[in-house]
Amino acid sequence: MKFSRVRIAAALSAPLTVATLFVAAPQAAAATGTSCDVSSGTGCLRLFYNSNRTGSYVYFYGSNVSDFAPYTFLGAGSGKGLGVKNNAASGDNVSPNPTTIFYNSNYGGSCDTLTDYAIASQLHNTYNNNASFKFNYTSSSCYKF
């Protein structure tokens, strides 16, 4: 039986195309805004550009964030429009569960945990060095607010 080159090429490229679709699927992004949507069920983390919960801010809700790189501060004030990654100085946890901010992307490195409804007037381990965060998580190695 003779197979045409087109049929062979199509047969060989189909699995590669399907595999590429699965690898390139985007990760679910956390919702952000200038107010908290408690209906998300996760609670909310609000990060501020300046210490003492001043300057621009952004709320995160709905899911964890493995890398703050694509996110910006949204609220009015100093820092509005700037990237959140490595620029957060303070925050608060609008949640009945702990929320942890990490120094590195993908939830690694030094960390600060904001316990239930906690306020951090100035982040400790992640002050202007924040790369990711996780809802409902704490560790004995994290600084606790």
pLDDT tens-digit readout, 104-122: 999 999 999 999 999 999 9
Residue 99 within any structural domain of the chain: yes
CATH of the domain at 96: 2.60.20.10
List pLDDT tens digits, range 40-52: 778 899 999 999 9
Total count of residues recorded for the chain: 145
In a domain? residue 123? yes
The residue ranges of the chain whose pLDDT is under 70 are 1-28
pTM, entire model: 0.80
Residue 42 lies in a domain: yes
**Nearest 5°: phi and psi at 23?**
-70, -40
